[in-house]
Amino acid sequence: MTSLWTRVARWALAAALLSGLPALAQINTAALLAPAGVVDTGQVRAELLAHAPQGVAPGATVWLGLRLQHAPQWHTYWKNPGDSGLPTELSWTLPAGVSAGAVDWPTPRKFPLGTLANYGYEGTVLLPVPLTIAQAPSGATLPITLEATWLACRQECIPEEGRFTLNLPVQGSTASHAAEFDAALARRPVAAASGDGAVVPEAGFLAVQLANLPAAWRGQTLEFFPETPALIEPGAAWTQAWDGERWTARIPLTPHRSQSPTELPLVVAQANGASEQAGVRQTVAVQGSWPPVVALPAATVSPELQQALQQALDARAAQASGPSIGLWAALLGALIGGLILNLMPCVFPVLAIKVLAFAQHAEQQASHRRVGLAYTAGVVLSFVALGGLLLGLRSAGEAIGWGFQLQSPLVVAALATLFTVIGLNLAGLFEFGNVLPSRLATLQARSPSGDAFLTGVLAVAIASPCTAPFMGASLGLAMALPTGQALAVFALLGVGMALPYLAASWWPAVARALPRPGAWMVTFRQFMAFPMFATVVWLLWVLGQQSGITGAAALLLMLVALAWLIWGLGLRGRSRTVLAGLAAAALLWLGLSLGPNVTRLQASAPGEPVATGVPGQSWQAWSPERQATLLAQGRPVFVDYTAAWCVTCQFNKNNALADADVLADMASKHVALLRADWTRRDPLITAELAKLGRSGVPVYTLIAPGRPPQVLSEVLSVGELRATLAQLPTP
């Protein structure tokens, strides 16, 4: 049995480590320049394509194109994005004598968003760009480098970018994507003669008259896309009609326009939502004078418009304000974060099991190594399995992140039950041999490696809701990586957590340094029952945040009945039969009558302000609207993304965030305090964390008006907070 576990552990560890190696050949992420021809962010799969049917030579037709394949419900933007958003931008690096033209934009479609509207693309779109070859390339290939940026939006927006390289052969043709380029070029708006079309600005409206439109369109509803941004109200209702072959429309004109052109390039298309159909492009002379531009005071901007406009701009600025990490940095961060995870208080209770098992086999170096490998395999495979489940649920549309399992009252209750049983065992109330079948009870003695593997699984179950330093950025990046690379990050996280135990099991000096087995082990084992019971108290408190005091009390009663049952099973004779039977009946009755209270989520009520002890300073419940309103008022905002099941969050909350000097600094800088409670599943908080490049809590951000969010470290210090606050201007 031991040799079997050793082989399983070694192969499992090797498989977990090697599973990420094929994925290291390319780097794909929403916040990373990728040295490859494909970038897959999870929201958009971008690929650089080429079409050179006549080869690369002066006068030849050469097309390049960025193909964007959007995930369902996601879109990117046209040259004029509408009310909000950013157009896709392409920056080329080409050899001398070769130049790239402008994007030959396909006809966009309209995306209504309440009273707003955007212009862009969904599904698959190819953005073609013509190349001009002024002189023949000197080498056998034409090296091409593209740095592209785009904004992917659904309800939330994520700024993304990629670096693409391509080498076109100078001799011979490159026409494997001919059909895609033909389809993309067919979607370009067809140029039409201006004819007797007219655009006349009026008070509050833009009167449009167009002729020379396709005869098949007559009588149909059209969409209007001006290439000049911030000119009309894209989401407002407007009227249109046909007068013979002439199409007329009165479109609401924004009084806060940014330009007053003398000529207006525009695109009209059929309003059927089919972005595959080409529109018609005209450049029409503006007749008459534009009405005066009305200044836009901040107080008149609606919260919805503030949020829509600032969402993309702030996120984009946040990305540009700091260095983005790559896959290798994410793997290193996961390894270091997993290593530090051993020091987090949430992992401490499992140390009793690990230390006792290690000391018990201190004289057997070979056994040490097998146990170390088995423990490592349990940790790594558990992290990979948990990561795979998280990725699978997110790809299915679930708004979840790291620690998602503790957002379920059932999982919290199950862990509280498990830790109660372990605590009672450590305290000496019972031995597993007295209450379990002999084969299970003797697992540790028969197979220390199997026991170590299960201990590794338990360690991950305890550690999974925690986020150590370096972990936050790595886990946030993993959510945007392809599956293979993301699982490699989770695997390295497990390796980091298991590394100290693995190293100790293979380093004889560590084993010799441990105290020899003896009476101290009994005392130490009993003492370590108390951290287990403290963990149960914490889990009951977490459950109280989810199911209310009734749910927590119901679970506590069932745990008492469970302890009674375990004690009764340890008795002998008639006492065991009677007392254990009564305990089992009581546990069954409590489970049937009170059990539903444990798993039933109580109604969520808006959080009441929580005083800090500093006059004028209190924590308020976070919401996107409240954050936008405070920023519009010119106030800096500090957001605490937290959860009751996050031990690191509670440590920070009761230390650095409760420090009198920190709170005084926040009051002097007029900082608003918001708390985003992620104890229960909250898609809005999940989306906000994703925009910050994070997938779990704790996360702390300081946002000043006009500045990108500044993300602080997971374990806060008073010095870091005060230094960050000192950078804010004094109101």
pLDDT tens sequence across 379-409: 888 888 877 776 776 565 554 555 556 677 8
Query: 569 and 623: one domain?
Result: no
Query: 551 and 659: one domain?
Result: no
What is the token pair recorded at 107?
Answer: 């006809």
- Angle of helix 365-395 relative to helix 2-18, nearest 10 degrees? 50
pLDDT (0 to 100) of residue 671: 92
Rounded Cα distance between 495 and 377, Å, is 9
Query: 592 and 617: one domain?
Result: no
List all residues 6 or more positions away from 251 whose beta carbon is below 8 Å from its beta carbon. 205, 206, 208, 224, 232, 233, 236, 238
Return the amino acid letter for 698: P
Is 295 within the bounds of a domain? no
Q: Of the candidates 140, 168, 187, which is a domain's last residue?
A: 187
- Domain extent, residue 28, equals 22-187
Query: 588 and 672: one domain?
Result: no
Query: 80 and 219: one domain?
Result: no
Does the reported pTM lie above 0.75?
no
For residue 669, give the CATH number of its domain. 3.40.30.10
Is 305 within the bounds of a domain? no
Tell me: the pLDDT tens digits for 565-609?
Answer: 888 888 888 888 888 889 899 889 988 888 888 887 665 555 566
Q: Of the candidates 554, 575, 599, which is a domain's last residue?
A: 599
Tell me: the pLDDT tens digits for 502-525?
Answer: 777 777 666 566 666 667 667 877
Is 317 within the bounds of a domain? no
The whole-chain average pLDDT of the chain stands at: 76
- Angle of helix 520-527 relative to helix 351-360, nearest 10 degrees? 170
Structural domain total, the chain: 4
Using CB atoms within 10 Å of the CB of residue 172, give its burial: 0 to 12 exposed, 13 to 18 middle, 19+ buried: exposed
pLDDT (0 to 100) of residue 107: 92
Query: 623 and 643: one domain?
Result: yes
441 against 276, higher pLDDT? 276
Query: 497 and 561: one domain?
Result: yes
3-class SS of residue 642: strand
Q: Where are the beta strands (DSSP E) in 490-646?
A: 610-611, 618-621, 637-642
Query: 622 and 561: one domain?
Result: no
Query: 537 and 617: one domain?
Result: no
Contact of 359 with 515, CB cutoff 8 Å: yes
What is the token pair recorded at 664?
Answer: 């005084």
Tell me: the pLDDT tens digits for 683-707?
Answer: 788 878 877 877 777 889 999 887 7
Query: 705 and 672: one domain?
Result: yes
Is 458 within the bounds of a domain? yes
Is 270 within the bounds of a domain? yes
Query: 95 and 135: one domain?
Result: yes
Is 14 within the bounds of a domain? no
- Name the phi and psi angles at 175, rounded to 5: -135, 25
Query: 445 and 349: one domain?
Result: yes
Is 12 within the bounds of a domain? no
What is the token pair recorded at 104?
Answer: 């030959």
Kindly list the distances between the CA atom of residue 610 and the CA atoms of 614, 615, 619, 622, 706, in Å, as whole numbers in the listed order: 11, 12, 5, 12, 27
Whether 613 shows a pLDDT value over 50: the answer reads: yes
Is 338 within the bounds of a domain? yes
Q: Of the candidates 599, 619, 652, which is a domain's last residue?
A: 599
What is the token pair recorded at 421?
Answer: 């049983």
Q: Is residue 308 very low, low, confident or very high in pLDDT (cuts 50, 70, 90)?
A: very low
- Angle of helix 483-506 relative to helix 327-341, nearest 10 degrees? 40
List all residues 6 or more positions away from 655 whose beta carbon is below 8 Å from its beta carbon. 716, 718
Rounded Cα distance between 480 and 486, Å, is 8
For residue 162, give the CATH number of its domain. 2.60.40
DSSP 267-302: EEEESSS-TTS--EEEEEEB-S-PPPPPP--GGGS-
List alpha helices for 479-519, DSSP H: 483-506, 508-513
